[in-house]
Chains A and B, each alone.
Chain A
Amino acid sequence: MAQNLTRSHQIDDAGLDLDAALLREMYRLMVLARRTDERTWVLHRQGKIAFHISGIGHEAIQVGAALAMHRGYDYAHLYYRDLAFNIALGYTPYEFFLAVYGKQGETTSGARQMPSNWSARRLGIVTASSPVATQVPQAAGLALASKLKGEDRVTVVCLGEGSTSEGDFFEGLNWAGVHQLPVVCIVQNNIYAISVPVHLQMAVPNVADRAPMFGIAGAICDGNDVVASYRAMSEALDRARRGEGATLLEAKTYRPVPHSSDDDDRTYRSRDEVEEWKQRDPIKRFQAYLLERGLLDDEQIDAIEQEVRAEIDEAQARAEAAPYPPAEDALFPVFAPPDFEQ
Chain B
Amino acid sequence: MPEMTLIEGVRQAMDEEMARDERVFITGEDVGQRGGVFRATLGLFEKYGPDRVIDSPLAELSIVAVGVGAALGGMRPICEIQFADYIFPAFNQIVNEAALVHYRSGGEWAAPLVIRAPYGGGIGGGLYHSQSVEAYFAHAPGLKVVIPSTAYDAKGLLKAAVRDPNPVLFFEPKKGYRLIKDAVPDEDYTVPLGEAKVTREGGDLTVYAYGMMHYYVLQAAEMVARQEGIQAEVVDLRTLAPLDTATVIESFKKTGKALIVYEDNRFLGYGAEIAALLADEAFEYMDAPIRRLAGPDIPGVPFAHSMQDFFMPNPDKIAAAIRELAEY
Which of A51, A130, A200, A330 is in CB contact (< 8 Å) with B55?
A200
* Interface flag for A102 (CB, 8 Å): yes
* Interface flag for A337 (CB, 8 Å): no
Bound together, the chains give a CA A332 to CA B303 distance in angstroms of: 13
* Interface flag for B89 (CB, 8 Å): yes
* Interface flag for B194 (CB, 8 Å): no
0/1 string, B144-167, CB within 8 A of A gives 1: 000000000000000000000000
Which of A51, A165, A263 is in CB contact (< 8 Å) with B57?
A165
* Interface flag for B129 (CB, 8 Å): yes
* Interface flag for B126 (CB, 8 Å): yes
Asked if A112 meets B296 with Cβ closer than 8 Å, knowing A194-B29, A327-B306, the reply is: no
Bound together, the chains give a CA A51 to CA B299 distance in angstroms of: 20
Q: Which residue of A lies closest to B125 (CB)?
A: A114
Q: Which residues of A contact B34 (CB under 8 A)?
A: 194-196, 267-268
Interchain nearest-CB distance for B294 vs A (Å): 14
Q: Are A166 and B58 in contact (CB under 8 A)?
A: yes
How large, as a class, is the contact surface on chain B? 35 or more
A-binding segment of B71-79, B279-287, B307-315: B307-315
Q: Which residue of B lies closest to A259 (CB)?
A: B37
Interchain nearest-CB distance for A117 vs B (Å): 7
Bound together, the chains give a CA A268 to CA B124 distance in angstroms of: 26
* Interface flag for B247 (CB, 8 Å): no
Bound together, the chains give a CA A69 to CA B58 distance in angstroms of: 29
Which of B58, B297, B298 is in CB contact (< 8 Å) with A162?
B58
Interface of A is mostly: loop
Interface of B is mostly: loop
Interchain nearest-CB distance for A257 vs B (Å): 16
Asked if A111 meets B303 with Cβ closer than 8 Å, knowing A51-B124, A194-B30, A330-B296, the reply is: yes
Bound together, the chains give a CA A167 to CA B37 distance in angstroms of: 22
Bound together, the chains give a CA A318 to CA B125 distance in angstroms of: 24
Q: Are B304 and A111 in contact (CB under 8 A)?
A: yes
Bound together, the chains give a CA A194 to CA B56 distance in angstroms of: 12
Interchain nearest-CB distance for B53 vs A (Å): 12
0/1 string, A284-327, CB within 8 A of B gives 1: 00000000000000000000000000000000000000001111
Shortest Cβ-Cβ A-B pairs, 8 listed: A130-B128, A195-B34, A114-B126, A165-B57, A327-B310, A111-B304, A102-B304, A330-B307
Beyond contacts A112-B303, A196-B29, A329-B307: 20 other A-B pairs, Cβ-Cβ < 8 A, are A102-B303, A112-B299, A113-B128, A114-B126, A114-B127, A130-B127, A131-B128, A165-B62, A168-B89, A193-B29, A194-B37, A196-B30, A196-B56, A263-B37, A324-B305, A325-B307, A327-B306, A329-B306, A330-B307, A330-B311
Pairs across A and B, CB under 8 Å, 17 listed = A50-B124, A102-B303, A104-B304, A112-B299, A112-B302, A114-B128, A132-B58, A163-B58, A165-B57, A166-B59, A166-B61, A195-B33, A196-B55, A325-B304, A327-B306, A331-B296, A334-B297
Residues of A whose CB lies within 8 Å of any CB of B are 50-51, 102-104, 106, 109, 111-115, 117, 129-132, 162-163, 165-168, 193-196, 200-202, 262-263, 267-268, 324-332, 334
